[in-house]
Structures are given as C-alpha cells and as structure tokens.
Amino acid sequence: MTHNLKRTFAILLLAIFGSTILYNCEPDPDSLGEQLFNDDAAQGNEISYPVIAYNYDNHDSIRSDAARLISGLSENGAVSTVGVLGAFTENQFGMQRASYVTQLRMPVDNYDFNGANPKVDSVVLVVRPPANTVSNTYFFEGDSLKVNTSEKSDFLVDGVATAVSIEKKTYPVRKYGKIGGGVSKSMKINVHEVTTFLDSNDDTFKRSNKNVSTGELLGSGVFNGNISSLSITKKSDNSVVFTGNLGFRLKLSNTDFFQTHILDKKGKPELQDASNFIRYFKGIKISVDETDKYLYQFSPNDLQLIMYYKYDKTENGTTTRPQTNLLFNLGGASAHIGLYEYNTAGTPAANAVAASNSTIGDEKLYIQGMGGPSVVMKIQDETIAKLKQIYTEKKAGILSAKIRVYVDPLSWKNTNSTEDRKFSILTNTLNSNGTIDFSKLAYTSDLSTGLGLYNYNKDKDYYDIVVTKTVKDLVEDKKETVGGVDQPIVNKPLLVTAGTFAANATGTLLGVRNTTRAFDMNRIILTGIDKMNTNPKRIQLMVTYGTKK
C-alpha cells in the first residue's frame, strides 16, 4: 500500500467511524487517531503550540468529609474510605500535617452493660490500613515481613489457664515522607475528646481547615511505622482462641474518662439514643505531635474503639465478675473529617501560587493533594483560530492532540517516599471569581468514559494529556446541548489536581466529584511556560493532522 493511499485510508476511517468510537466505552476515547500512526501507518504533519498553564490556589482547604474520603466501591457495594495521619516537611511545599476527627455511637440505644456495677478494665483504639489485605496495604521499603511466634502455658480461656501458640506478623505501612537514611519511623499519636459538635448538615464542618476544639487527652502511644496481625490458637487442638486483623492497637490510658462518661451514665438520658449521645460525647480526634516525619493512610470505616469492662453477674445465688467489651460504632452514619494543617510561608510553592499569572501562565507548576495547590491549563484561543484556518484552507483532519507537560528536572524529588505521581484531570469551568463550577463540566463525554488518570513516564519524564476530541470539537465548531439549546462548545480550562477518579469494582467511575484528592499524599512540580519559547521542555500542545491529496 502506498504512503498516500495509507493516509487517505486513515482519514476515511476517521470520518466514517469517528463519532461512534468517541462515545463508546473505550478507556481513553480522546486518543482517537493515535492508533493510525503506529508502526508503518500513515504519517501526518505535527505542529506544536504554547499552552497557558498557571498555579491555582486552593487556600490549603478541601472538602474532606465522609462523602469525599471515598476511594471506591467493592464488589458487594461496600464503600471503601481512606484517611491520612502524620506530618511531613520539605523545602518546596513546606509542612503538611494530617489529623482525623470522627463521631462515635453506642452499639444500641439505652445500653445496659449486661449487668450491675460495670467497671472499665481498658480501652483500645485500633487503626487499620485502607484494605485489610496484605498485598495492597504495606510497602516493604527494603525490609521484609517479620513473623514472631511464642507459646504461653497459662493463657486464660474462659477463665481457665490454657497452653496456646501466639503468632504475630508485622508489616511496614506505606509511607510518604522521611522514611529512609536512618530516619526514625516512630511518631507519637494522640487521641483527644472532641468538644465541638460535628454537625454533618453544616457545610462548614466538611472542609479540611475546620477548627475543631478538643478536651481531655484520652491516651497517647508511639506508632513505629508498622502494622501487625495476631493469631492465638490452643496447643491441644489448634482451635483459634483469638484473631486480631491487620492494624495498629493503641491502649488509651484515661480509663477514668470512659468510666464517668459512659459506664456511670447507665440508664441516663445521655445514652438514651444516638441523637443524645453524639451531642454528649461529640467524638474523638486522632493526631500526631511531629511536624516532619511522614504521612500514611488508614481506613476510617475500619477504625475500632473497644472498651473492656467487668460487671456483676449473679447465677444460682453466686455473683461473679466476668469481662466483656463494648465496641463503639465509628463508621456508617458517623461524621468523619480529615483535618489538614499547613505551614508554607516562604516556600517556592507558596511564592509561585501568590504570584500566579492566569493571563500568560507560570514557569513552574506546583500540584499537591489534600487541599494544596492545583494547576490550570488552557489552550490559547489564537491556537484554536490557527487550527481552524488549517482545517479550512488545507481540508485537514486532526488525528491527534495532546498537552505535553514535563516533570521539572531541577526541583525537589523525595527519593525515600512512595511516589505514585498520578493526577486527575478535572475539566471543570472556572467561574469569574476563580472558583470551580461543578455544574458546568467541560468535556463531559471524555470524563464519563474514563479520561482522567495519567501515570508518570519514568523514561521520558513527561505526561501526555490526550485532548484529541476536545481540540477537534473546537476546531470543527461542534455544538453541545445546554438546557435543551444547541450552543457552540466553549474553550474551557483544564483543572489538574493530584489523585485520580474513584471507581467501583468493575472500573465504572463514581462521578466527577468522587476523586482521591482529599487523601492523596503526592505532590509534584512540573515545567510550565517559557516566555522566550527556547526551553524544549516547556508545556506545549502537540497536534498531528493529515490532509487529503
């Protein structure tokens, strides 16, 4: 097949099948046309254009309530949530510290504590990883799985001394921050009583910079960067006595608080129902002391607060004091808020955001999850005008268009962190005041079929954001229906943020609002514009088009 015939055949395929492919369920519909240039397929004309790209200020705030901490849906429809704890400081973005606040509820209304005279033995908080499977909860960091086994001859099982085997498996959690080079992996975790009512109907309680007051310290402990599972079995018949799923257990020292605030309120209005209880015991806050360690993720829905206690039990005239436990409900309808604190004064990221120029763009672009800065990219109107001229005069067909943006080669790179280097393309319209208008989504058809996740290309050090359909629609003056009226498609900006889109078990996206932004620990610096147009790694729109002979 001759070169010209190949080109003609490719253009005919595009004309005949283009609209069908654009709206099917392919994972990347905006890449239409690129397959025509693989191997010995027809070669088109490639031309590059400058792109306006500038830093976007999120004011260190993001919606981080339960509705935004969703990472996806499991096969049975259960919601998977993710929270973040810890703190990390570096010289480009500054300090970022993550805490977590949650309500808790009694297991049932008017809980009777099984009998009379209940007294607290101990209280334990269990923090679990995002999914309770080893394969995707730990990151080895050059370490290996540690397994400790031991035996105990006088372990009490139903009050009887029993010989048991104890197996403890320990894994390092997946961390982002200072985790190598002899840096201590230990952080002090504090658990406080919350004294601010967490009103889930009040939008001010849904943001990461909400001021939540605390009261008594319920307990503290050292987290050494590891999570463990525990299995206890009888030596006699290998039957399981106890199983502790993967997690970190923190024993709370302030048992007096739980005695006076919970057990001593037996039969009182405070424990009458959930509405009374969450206004009486408003919740707990989990935080860290440090400002320069690391961030790690956990599962809010799998948090456990367990109160062990004894009570009077009388049978056949004999009174005993058996031990039982109360498991507070920290998931479901409870309010959850990720609280994020920043200290960015004088950092390159803060300076770049403050001096951001939305007209001509910025030379360095800073992207950070959890409410840090985002980046706006916009194809210039004059670029669209030039492409329209080529389209009209040369009868050209646009076969490929992508925004190429490079990772900044001279800026910070934290080699000791778990860097996913993923970001989502939230193609929303920016209002005149610079806020995001979620009611006016740009390029909705692209989003609905999966456009949005881009992985760092380690070999070439750049990302290619495919916008073929977007550019074709603008150049060919396509229409969109808004409110039942056909209107010209508008050249709208792309809002680029850290994270990706949440999906269900089959990969179907949960909607443009459901992203991992609220708990994405990553940050990245990209190369933006070059005022002199001499830097080959400046951000550019790369367009390939073919013409009929």
Give the model confidence (pLDDT) of 317-368 as tens digits: 788 888 889 999 987 778 899 999 999 999 999 999 999 999 999 999 999 9
Nearest CA to 284 out of 212, 356, 350, 187 is that of: 212
| Residue 276 reports pLDDT greater than 80 | yes
Whole-number pLDDT of residue 188: 96
What contacts 335, CB < 8 A, 6 or more positions away?
65, 66, 101, 102, 103, 198, 199, 200, 205, 283
Encode pLDDT of 485-517 as tens digits. Answer: 888 888 888 888 888 777 777 777 776 677 888
Mean pLDDT of 277-293: 95
Work out the pLDDT band at 43, boundaries 50, 70, 90.
low
Distance CA 528, CA 541 (A): 12
pTM for the predicted model, two decimal places: 0.83
Q: Rounded to the nearest 5 degrees, what angle is found at the Cα of 128, between the Cα atoms of 124 and 132?
A: 135
**Cα distance between the two ends of the chain:** 16
Determine the pLDDT at residue 455: 55
Distance of CA 184 to the CA centre of its chain: 25
Query: Greater confidence, 490 or 441?
Result: 490
The predicted structure's pLDDT at residue 431: 56
pLDDT, residue 17, reads 29
Strand partners, 124: 251, 306
How far apart are the C-alpha atoms of 391 and 388, rounded to whole Å? Answer: 5
Whole-number Å distance between alpha carbons of 188 and 393: 68
The residue among 75 and 523 whose pLDDT is bigger is 523
| Type and span of the H or E element at 390 | helix 381-393
> At 216, phi and psi to the nearest 5?
-70, 145
Are the C-beta atoms of residues 283 and 113 closer than 8 Å to each other?
no
DSSP assignment, residue 433? T
Distance (Å, rounded) from C-alpha 186 to C-alpha 293?
8
Which residues does residue 497 pair with via DSSP β-bridges, in sequence order? 424
Taking the C-alpha atoms of 131, 136, 141 and 144 in order, what is their torsion angle to the nearest 10 degrees? Answer: 90
Phi and psi at residue 62, in whole multiples of 5°? -155, 150
Strands 70-73 and 45-56: unpaired
Q: Nearest-CA neighbor of 498 among 427, 418, 422, 403?
A: 422
With H, G, I as helix, E, B as strand and everything else as coil, classify residue 196. coil
Top-ranked range on mean pLDDT: pick from 77-81, 409-413, 415-419, 543-547: 543-547
pLDDT over 70 (residue 36): no
Check: CB of residue 89 under 8 Å from CB of residue 269. Answer: no
pLDDT at position 453 is 44
Supply the pLDDT for residue 25. 29
If one compares 410 and 290, the residue with the highest pLDDT of the two is: 290
The secondary structure of residue 70, as a DSSP letter, is E
Rounded alpha-carbon distances, angstroms, from residue 528 to 55, 390, 435, 492: 9, 26, 22, 18
Nearest one of 55, 48, 53 to 377, comparing CA atoms: 53
Query: What is the rounded CA–CA span in Å between residue 336 and residue 334?
Result: 6
User: What local confidence, expressed as pLDDT, does residue 24 receive?
Assistant: 27
Name, of 11-20, 75-84, 371-380, 515-524, the range with top average pLDDT: 371-380
Residue 250 is predicted with a pLDDT of 95
Look at residue 95 in the predicted model and tell me its pLDDT.
96
User: For a pLDDT cut of 70, what percent of the chain falls above it?
Assistant: 79
432 or 503, which is more confident: 503
In a 3-state reduction of DSSP, which class is residue 350? helix
* Mean pLDDT of the 95-121 span: 92
The whole-number pLDDT of residue 151 equals 75
HEC assignment per residue over 504-516? CCCCCECCCCCEC
213-235 pLDDT, tens per residue?
Answer: 999 999 999 999 888 888 888 88
Q: What's the confidence (pLDDT) of residue 22?
A: 27
Inter-helix orientation angle 381-393/468-475, to 10°: 70
Q: Give the Å distances, CA to CA, from 360 to 98, 261, 447, 462, 530.
A: 34, 59, 27, 22, 10
Residue among 265, 214, 223 nearest 106 (CA): 265
d(CA 231, CA 137): 19
Q: How far apart are CA 437 and CA 512, in angstroms?
A: 12
Is 60 exceeded by the pLDDT of residue 444? no
214: closest CA among 127, 100, 84, 62? 100
What pLDDT band is residue 152 in, cutting at 50, 70 and 90? Answer: confident
Once rounded to an integer, what is the mean pLDDT over residues 248-269?
A: 94
To 5 degrees, how large is the angle CA 415–CA 338–CA 195? 140
**CA 136 to chain CA centroid, nearest Å:** 15
Phi, psi of 493 (to 5 degrees): -80, 155
Residue type at 256 in one-letter notation: D
Query: In this predicted structure, what is the pLDDT of residue 233?
Result: 87
pLDDT at 21: 25
132: pLDDT strictly greater than 50:
no
